A and B are shown apart, each in its own frame.
Chain A
Amino acid sequence: DAGITQSPRHKVTETGTPVTLRCHQTENHRYMYWYRQDPGHGLRLIHYSYGVKDTDKGEVSDGYSVSRSKTEDFLLTLESATSSQTSVYFCATGGQGDEQYFGPGTRLTVT
């Protein structure tokens, strides 16, 4: 988890409300990723970024948007949260190598 922080770590919100999760890194890594992890599905890629203002969709991007205005910050937004978006969200970064480094996760509950 060194060098990667996520905020908030836990959040409970109501259906229909907007939610923004923040990922901050101090590694100066070019690549950043957002995953969700659910029982029976493992880790699934939501969106990723390959540079400032450069983002693209992953496997399960519907209902999510992202922004990256600085190298160190990658934001994930749920425009209108739904119960199906209750999950644990992980941010990850990638540098010159092919391995990824994960943050501690955010547990989101949508009621």
Chain B
Amino acid sequence: SQKIEQNSEALNIQEGKTATLTCNYTNYSPAYLQWYRQDPGRGPVFLLLIRENEKEKRKERLKVTFDTTLKQSLFHITASQPADSATYLCALDMANAGNMLTFGGGTRLMVKP
């Protein structure tokens, strides 16, 4: 079955630096990959979607890459701010069920002023 791995340890960085989060997957070739942000006590919020034929996608300070050979996605936040502190989840479409997602466990990002 498909497996998604995100670093379960918190990532601590200084304000203004670039945060890079990793999502690795196995046993599957997804049609697309998504990133969500989740704040404590709230539901996840969709950020970006990247398809298998796309190498990179950007939205404001966010950038996502998708390497289908390495089976890995990287999520970058440039010029990070304390308000970027949250847990970030990656999600892949489920095999043979295009409208369903499988989520990774998330990585908590802490941006210190």
Contact = CB atoms under 8 A, between A and B. Distances in A.
Interface stretch (B12-20, B57-65, B93-101): B93-101
Contacts of A59: 102
Given A40-B105, A50-B99, A99 B43 contact: no
Interface string B20-63: 00000000000010100000011111100100000000000000
Given A1-B42, A102-B44, A105-B42, A31 B103 contact: no
Given A40-B105, A41-B105, A42-B105, A102 B45 contact: yes
Contacts of A31: 99
A45 interface: yes
Size band of the B side of the interface? Answer: 20 to 34
Q: Which of A41, A42, A50 has the most chain B CB atoms inside 10 A of its CB?
A: A42
Nearest to B87: A42
A41 B102 CA distance: 11
Interface in A77-102: 90, 92, 94, 97-102
A1 B39 CA distance: 12
Main secondary structure of the interface of B (DSSP, over half): strand
Interface string B76-108: 000000000000010101000011111111100
A53 B104 CA distance: 29
Interface in A53-111: 58-59, 90, 92, 94, 97-105
A60 B33 CA distance: 22
A100 B98 CA distance: 12
13 contacts: A40-B105, A42-B105, A43-B91, A43-B103, A45-B100, A48-B100, A50-B99, A98-B34, A98-B49, A99-B46, A100-B46, A102-B44, A105-B41
